[in-house]
């Protein structure tokens, strides 16, 4: 990795963080006192606030686990012991403590540190993460590999109560409880995912860190076990354990986890270093599955984040570290695609009582919070449970409603079987609003929506479309709800649109019909979705190079507008496809397949995302890297049109 840090910058860090700057690996934490560990946690929190204020990134979760992370690395022996962070957006303090302090200013920057744990970045990152509910499964695999190899290292999974709403977490716990392998699961309970948690599990995870009755009983029971062990033997000790189990069942969610085969401990205060260190030392001495329930506050130590946790889940940076106020100059902004979608859906749903809205713990990210506020009786947040969300939508459709499931492209991958088996196979009228389709910038490969056109292209009965601007998104949503009877997917990018004029009325789009954006007769640029604006920019450069490009927005992947392809072939000698999706199996593949069958002599070329996982960085950096910037596209197309490619 490139050296981003100058000597003066290192000196400033040492002055601002006297204890933390001396921590080069977790081994340096072993010799510190509890008071010093608390100071390290405070300095870590300060450093995270400073870093995110400058470069942006995930925020509230890292602040909430500062003490827990310091205590973990004080007690456990990373990287020999394996620590797996669920999602990984809360691992900034972990990165600071594992030798990356000086490089953290490059976090999420192009060619800098990743915003999530990454094994290729550090031996202390035990597992690549980015999606929720995976940590316990990964920890189970690491633990069984240890057992089979005859090793003795410890394995820890840290999972939030938001991620615990995902079914995969319970599948893993059910398995671990059966095989009884030594794994510690730390439940980081802050009552939040990105937005406040929903569902029965939230109500079961009772916040009891300061419950005096429970804590007095717990202390009495542990003292009794020690006494009885010395004087009365195993029978009385077993009796007291049963009493303890009864107390847990009455005051805590422990009985639920113990029914899965885990020994439950807690809840404890996740900001009390003494309690954390003591509990983790106890956990390390046990050799079976156990769960430590830790209560934390998301955004701890930064008042704006504590007061508005959903807003401060992540930040784009550029805020004052004292007040949280945005320091960036206000600019007239174009509406974001997700906002256009959310507003349009509310407009339609206020007139149509059969429209329902579904999210998987992303009401604000998908702008379904607008629907939630306007029509709460028809809004459903199912938690981080994408598979359930799709089949739940299928049931709603059979019941006569029009379910709209808004979800990020990268997370719809988790419910692919349900899309095929539960929706498309039955030809049900479910609308998938696929947000963050294409590259997403600094969040990187775990969050890029690089594959949805490819994996949806293969699904029968499914109509797939992508708007080239904001008004097209409004019209496509209307079309999906009222002009098509089966399943529909609408994919649109992250962030602001092109600034298209928005009309109050909705205009239906004939399924499978594209539109001509620019007339031309030399080379045809066939595009879809977010690449419409990029094709227009490229066409201007091609015109300056002496070409007269035809630009067509096909709008639909399925059914594809074959008449428009035929027209392009009749006018132009060269056909170019452009898409912000994997080059394999998507829009370009569909066009190429049609050309091979019907126009085998025409020359064609496809541009899209490479057969590789694209790194993190600014959108323009990434577009240049994958060759989807207008400059690179125009150069390649000129070469192609002149027979040089």
Task: Put the strands of the sheet holding 402-408 in their side by side order.
Answer: 379-381, 355-359, 402-408, 431-435, 488-491, 463-465, 556-558
**Is 504 among the residues known to form the active site?**
no
Residue indicated by tokens 């019907």: 598
Residue 417: count of CB within 10 angstroms of its CB: 11
DSSP state letters, 79-121 = TTSEEEESSSTT-HHHHIIIIIGGGGGGTTSTTS--SS--TTT
Exactly one of 82, 100, 298, 491 is catalytic; which is it?
298
SS3 634: helix
Q: Are 69 and 44 in contact (CB under 8 A)?
A: yes
**Is 414 among the residues known to form the active site?**
yes
- Give me the phi and psi of 367, to 5 degrees please: 65, 20
Query: Number of H helices and number of E strands within the chain?
Result: 25, 19
Burial of 458 (0-12, 13-18, 19+ CB in 10 A): exposed
Q: How far apart are CA 620 and CA 108, in angstroms?
A: 14
Output the six-digit token pair for 237: 């000790």
Q: How far apart are CA 592 and CA 588, in angstroms?
A: 6
Burial of 495 (0-12, 13-18, 19+ CB in 10 A): middle
Query: Residue 489: enclosing H or E segment and its boundaries?
Result: strand 488-491
Output the six-digit token pair for 318: 């550029």
Output the six-digit token pair for 535: 């094709």
Q: How far apart are CA 14 and CA 114, in angstroms?
A: 23
DSSP state letters, 375-390 = -GGGEEE--S-HHHHH
Cα 275 → chain centroid: 31
Query: Residue 155: enclosing H or E segment and its boundaries?
Result: strand 155-160
Exactly one of 154, 414, 494, 558 is catalytic; which is it?
414
Exactly one of 38, 244, 386, 579 is catalytic; which is it?
386
Q: How far apart are CA 487 and CA 426, in angstroms?
A: 9
Q: Which residues contact 195 (CB under 8 A, 6 or more apart)?
A: 310, 361, 362, 363, 364, 369, 381
Q: Which residues are catalytic?
A: 298, 386, 414
């Amino acid at each position: 990795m490139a050296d981003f840090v100058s000597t003066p910058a290192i000196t400033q860090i040492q002055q601002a963080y006297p204890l933390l700057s001396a921590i080069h690996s977790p081994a340096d934490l072993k010799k510190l006192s509890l008071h010093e560990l608390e100071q390290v946690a405070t300095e870590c929190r300060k450093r995270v606030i400073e870093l995110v204020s400058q470069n942006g990134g995930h925020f509230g979760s890292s602040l909430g686990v500062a003490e827990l992370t310091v205590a973990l690395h004080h007690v456990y022996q990373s990287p020999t012991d394996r620590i797996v962070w669920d999602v990984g957006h809360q691992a900034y303090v972990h990165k600071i403590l594992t030798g990356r302090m000086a490089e953290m200013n490059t976090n999420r920057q192009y060619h800098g540190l990743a915003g999530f744990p990454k094994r290729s970045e550090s031996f202390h990152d035990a597992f690549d993460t980015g999606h929720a509910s995976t940590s316990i499964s990964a920890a189970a695999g690491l633990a069984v590999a240890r057992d089979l190899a005859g090793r003795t290292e410890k394995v820890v999974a840290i999972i939030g109560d938001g991620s615990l709403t995902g079914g995969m977490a319970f599948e893993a716990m059910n398995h671990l409880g059966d095989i009884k392998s030594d794994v510690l699961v730390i439940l980081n309970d802050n009552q939040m995912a990105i937005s406040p948690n929903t569902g029965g599990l939230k109500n079961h995870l009772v916040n009891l860190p300061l419950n005096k009755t429970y804590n007095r009983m717990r202390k009495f029971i542990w003292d009794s076990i020690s006494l009885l062990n010395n004087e009365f033997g195993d029978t009385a000790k077993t009796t007291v354990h049963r009493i303890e189990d009864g107390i847990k069942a009455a005051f805590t969610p422990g009985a639920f986890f113990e029914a899965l085969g885990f020994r439950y401990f807690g809840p404890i205060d996740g900001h009390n270093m003494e309690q954390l260190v003591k509990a983790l030392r106890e956990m390390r001495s046990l050799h079976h599955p156990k769960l430590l329930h830790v209560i934390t506050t998301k955004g701890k130590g930064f008042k704006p984040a504590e007061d508005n946790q959903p807003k401060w889940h992540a930040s784009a940076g550029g805020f004052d570290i004292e007040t949280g106020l945005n320091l960036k100059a206000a600019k007239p902004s174009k509406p974001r695609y997700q906002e256009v979608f959310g507003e349009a859906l509310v407009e339609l749903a206020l007139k149509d009582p059969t429209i329902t809205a579904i999210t998987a713990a992303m009401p604000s990210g998908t702008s379904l919070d607008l629907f939630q506020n306007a029509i709460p009786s028809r809004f459903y947040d199912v938690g981080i449970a994408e598979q359930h969300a799709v089949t739940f939508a299928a049931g709603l459709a059979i019941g006569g409603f029009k379910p709209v499931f808004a979800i990020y492209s990268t997370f719809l991958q988790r419910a692919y079987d349900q899309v095929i088996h539960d929706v498309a196979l039955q030809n049900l009228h479910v609308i998938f609003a696929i947000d963050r389709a294409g590259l997403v910038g600094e969040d990187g490969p775990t969050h890029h929506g690089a594959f949805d056109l490819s994996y949806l292209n293969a699904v029968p009965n499914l109509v797939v479309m992508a708007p080239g601007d904001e008004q097209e998104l409004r019209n496509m949503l209307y079309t999906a709800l009222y002009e098509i009877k089966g399943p529909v997917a609408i994919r649109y990018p992250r962030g602001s649109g092109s600034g298209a004029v928005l009309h109050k009325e909705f205009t239906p789009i004939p399924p499978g019909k594209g539109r001509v954006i620019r007339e031309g007769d030399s080379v045809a640029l066939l595009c879809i979705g977010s690449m419409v604006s990029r094709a227009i920019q490229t066409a201007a450069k091609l015109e300056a190079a002496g070409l007269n490009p035809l630009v067509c927005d096909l709008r639909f992947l399925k059914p594809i507008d074959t008449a428009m392809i035929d027209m392009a072939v009749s006018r132009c000698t060269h056909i170019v496809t452009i898409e912000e999706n994997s080059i394999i199996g998507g829009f370009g593949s569909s066009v190429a397949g049609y050309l091979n069958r019907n126009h085998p002599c025409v020359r064609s070329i496809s541009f899209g995302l490479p057969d590789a996982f694209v790194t993190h960085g600014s959108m323009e950096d990434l577009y240049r890297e994958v060759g989807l910037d207008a400059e690179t596209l125009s150069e390649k197309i000129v070469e192609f049109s002149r027979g040089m490619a």
